[in-house]
Amino acid sequence: MKKTPVKKSVNAKTRATVRPVASKPTIKSDKAKPCFNPWSLSIYVYWFIILFFIAATFYILGRAHTDQPKATPAMEITEETLLQAADYYNSGKTKLLAGELDAAIADLSAAIDAGAASVDTYILRGEAYMQSGDYRNAMSDFNAALVKDPANGVAYYDRSLLNTRLEDYGAALNDINNALAANTSNPSPVLQMRDLYAKRGQLNLWMKNWQGAIADYTNSLARPEGTVNPTVYAERAEAYTALGNYADAINDYSSAIRVISEQIQGAPTMEERESLSNRAMNYFEKSAALNLNLGNVDAARTDLESSYTIAVALNDAETADRMLGLIAELNKPAEAAPTEPVAENQ
């Protein structure tokens, strides 16, 4: 007889000790939908922006590097360059003294372009420009010279002359003051203190600073170097006249005429002698007017006669006739004062 297996019964206690095994999650048969993660997207955007700015920075730096002009190597000033600049300078100076202004400017410009130009080269070219009427380039050259040498008295003096031509008397006076200071501390063989004082006196005269003009002209005449310019006496006479000091003005006109008479003897050309004679004729006439104001009729007549003599020598008929007319007026006898009739004795 076949035994049938007997099923063991599990009691309650046994069931309590048996723990269920965790089952794996069941996977559904349909495809799972992707899950959207906003944090992961923001990370991508963040890195994209960083990479973009890095790339842009390198591009800009590279572009700036390629666009930057290449530095030109400094021109080496060789001995040959110096000699070439010196040759052009000497040639330009010679032509300037000869009055060949355009040729002088060309040579001096070549000296400057050679890269070894001295301060004097700029000064000379400025003088050539000034004489040719190109005041803008003249001013530029004088300024360039003073940049290279801020204590150059010649550059200040030339710029003063230029400012005088431009009728900027204040700037001219400032430049002549600087020229005087520079020439006092570092004398230049080109400048003389006599001329500098005379130039400042002229500027003060034009600016109607009569006392300043007289002081400067007096300092100019007191200097030992150089020769006396008769214009200094004549212009100081104008300042004295403006102040009503006629006696000193007459003395200065007489001194100017004396200097002119000495210069005429050594004048090399007829043109220069005629120019000096014209100035003397003019000074005699001015002296005559001052003598009349002081009541010195005889002295005035003598001055007019001297002016007439010079006019005849110069074939200046107009001035000669005018002097004769003035002399005739002086020679007229004074009208007798009317006398009261004498009463008859009765």
Residue 105 pLDDT exceeds 50: yes
pTM of the model: 0.71
Domains of the chain, residue spans: 233-330
Residue 70 pLDDT exceeds 90: no
The pLDDT of residue 271 is: 93
Strands (E), 26-139: none
Mean pLDDT of 81-104: 87
The pLDDT of residue 11 is: 42
Mean pLDDT of 67-85: 52
Q: What percent of the chain has pLDDT over 70?
A: 72
Distance in angstroms (rounded) separating the CA atoms of residues 60 and 286: 80
The pLDDT of residue 149 is: 95
Residue 132 pLDDT exceeds 80: yes
Dump pLDDT digits (tens) for 298-317.
Answer: 999 999 999 999 999 999 99
Tokens of 127: 């003088």
Q: Which residue reads 């003063």 in tokens?
A: 160
For the domain 233-330, what is the CATH code? 1.25.40.10
Mean pLDDT of 224-252: 96
Q: Nearest-CA neighbor of 160 among 121, 126, 189? A: 126
Does residue 152 contact residue 185 with C-beta atoms inside 8 Å? no
Residue 30 pLDDT exceeds 50: no
Mean pLDDT of 51-71: 49
Does residue 315 contact residue 282 with C-beta atoms inside 8 Å? no
Helix (H, G, I), strand (E, B) or coil at 345: coil
Question: Residue 143, Cβ neighbours under 10 Å: how many?
Answer: 14
Question: For all residues of the chain together, what is the average pLDDT?
Answer: 81
Least confident segment among 112-121, 170-179, 248-257, 317-326: 112-121
Q: Nearest-CA neighbor of 170 among 142, 139, 200? A: 200
Helix (H, G, I), strand (E, B) or coil at 165: helix
Helix (H, G, I), strand (E, B) or coil at 168: coil
Confidence of residue 338 (pLDDT cuts 50, 70, 90): low
Mean pLDDT of 35-49: 50
Residues 8-32: b if buried by 16+ CB within 10 A, e if exposed: eeeeeeeeeeeeeeeeeeeeeeeee
* Cβ-Cβ contacts under 8 Å for 299 (sequence gap 6 or more): 288, 291
The pLDDT of residue 303 is: 97
Mean pLDDT of 304-332: 95
